[in-house]
Structure 1
Amino acid sequence: MISLRFDKNKKEKKINFKVVATSVVAITLIGIVGISIGKYSGSNPIGGQVVLDIIEPIGKNLNSGFMFLKDSFKDIINYKDNSKKVNSLQEENQKLKEEIIALNSQLDEVQSLESLKKSLNYIDEKYQAKAISTSVVGKSDGNWYESLVIGAGKNQGVKEDSIVINGNGLIGVVYEVSENYSKAISLLDTKSSVSFKLLKNSKLKGVITQNSTLEDKENYKNKGYLYGYMFDSSYNVLPGDVLTTSGLGLYPKDIPIGEVDKVIDDKNKSMKFVVVKPYVNFKNIDDVVVIEPRNIG
Structure 2
Amino acid sequence: MKKKFFGAVAMAATLALGLTACGSGSDAAATVENGDKKDLKVVVFNGWDEGVAASELWKAILTEEGYNVKLEYADAAPVYSGLSSGDYDVVLDTWLPITHKSYIEEYGDKMVDLGAWNSDAKLTIAVNADAPIDSLEDLAANADKFGNKIIGIEPGAGLTEVTTDDVIPGYGLDKMEYITSSTPAMLSELKTATSKGENIVVTLWRPHWAYDAFPVKDLKDPKGLLGEAEGIHSFSRLDFDKDFPTLDGWLKNFKMDSDTLHSLENVMFNGEKTDDYTEVVKNWIAENQDYVDSLTA
TM-score, normalised with respect to structure 2? 0.26
Structure 1 or 2, whichever has the larger Rg, is 1
- State the TM-score, normalized to the length of structure 1: 0.26
Relative contact order, higher structure (CA 8 A, sep 6+)? 2
The structure whose residues are more often helix, as a share, is 2
Q: Which is strand-richer, 1 or 2?
A: 1
